[in-house]
Amino acid sequence: MAYRPALITLNNKKYVVPSWKQVPLETTLASVTEAWEKNRPRTKLDDIKNFKIEGRPYVVTLIDKKLFCTCPAGTYRKKCKHANSIANKIKDKYEVVI
């Protein structure tokens, strides 16, 4: 996940965080944010696929070859039986990293 940039001034030096790169004192947050927006990696909406688990209120989402599930196990442990089940069903159609 890419975090939005912020500016911090310490000891009369200005830094962009979270990378902690030093920038000129006259740098504005608007200019840093504009550069960040241009260069950040994007996921096309077409690349995001949702799969409904039959009989369950959970949704498994495929983003950048990774599966994410809305169930408690998927939320906290990042792996769950729902995502594994979907991975087995879609492995021939989509590239999935488990």
Each residue's pLDDT, cut to its tens digit, for the chain (98 residues) gives 467 789 999 999 999 998 899 999 999 999 888 887 777 665 554 556 777 777 778 888 888 788 888 888 888 887 888 888 888 888 888 888 76
In a domain, 1, yes or no: no
Q: How many domains does the chain have?
A: 2
31 with 52, same domain?
A: no
d(CA 71, CA 90): 19
Both 57 and 29 in one domain: the answer is: no
49 and 83: one domain? yes
- Whether 95 maps to a domain, the answer reads no
pTM over 0.85: no
Task: Count Cβ atoms below 10 Å from residue 96 Cβ, excluding itself.
Answer: 16
68 and 52 in contact (C-beta within 8 Å)?
Answer: no
What residue numbers bound the domain in which 22 lies? 6-39
Shared domain check, 70 and 55: yes
* Residue 84 domain-assigned (yes or no): yes
User: Do you know the residue count of the chain?
Assistant: 98
Tell me the C-alpha distance between 73 and 78, whole Å.
Answer: 7
Distance CA 2, CA 95 (A): 23
